[in-house]
Amino acid sequence: MRLLNRAGELLSSEGPSALSLRRLAADVNTSTTAVYSLFGGKPALLDALYDEGFRRFGQRLATVPETDDPVEDLIQIALTYRDSALEDRQFYVVMFSKVVPDFMPTTETYIAASGTFVPVVKTVQRAIDNGQFVGDEGPEVIGLALWSICHGLVGLELHGILPPGLEIAPVFERAVRATADGWRKR
């Protein structure tokens, strides 16, 4: 589908505000009506992009190898999280920020998106079985905490609301490691 490809390009190169139906239709030499017959409107198009964003995201996260040190695996997943977000930042804001008012993903695509979280929970479970992490909490809670520190730091970074003159990459890694340490048995 040329429309969807071009929409992704526009989103990546010029951001969500450049993604107007007329602009998009003109770029692929068709009319705005095509978006309505093929997708069902702009929200549905955004939904497709949302889906595409999570597909890329999950694909990247899946490249992290599984070792016998699950906590270290989690660190690597977190670093990959940030790399992915920075590389596809325009998709990231569609996925995790409110770029278009009143946009809500379909429950189907939402469920597909939630799949991105599954490997994290599984790896946490391995760390619990391992004895590295405390076990009195479900793996979802620990996974959520790690997910959130990534989400929070990346969100602040993408919005430019971080203390100036800060080397972000090492701070990110340090913060993730400390967060993981907080769930270690002691």
Site residues (vs DNA, CB under 7 A): 19-23, 25, 29-34, 36-38, 41-43
- Would you say 1 or 169 has its CB closer to a second copy? 169
83 binds a second copy (CB under 8 A): no
149 binds a second copy (CB under 8 A): yes
Give residues 114-143 in contact with a second copy (rule: CB under 8 A). 114, 117, 137, 140-142
174 binds a second copy (CB under 8 A): yes
Region of 3-11, 31-39, 108-116, 122-130 interacting with a second copy (CB under 8 A) = 108-116
44 binds a second copy (CB under 8 A): no
Query: Do 3 and 21 form a contact (C-beta atoms < 8 A)?
Result: no
Residue 117 Cβ vs a second copy, minimum distance, rounded to whole Å: 8
Question: Is the backbone of residue 41 left (phi > 0), alpha (psi -120 to 50) or beta?
Answer: left
Residue ranges binding a second copy (CB under 8 A): 15-17, 93, 96-99, 101-102, 104, 110, 113-114, 117, 137, 140-142, 144-145, 147-153, 155-156, 159-163, 166, 171, 174-175, 177-183, 186
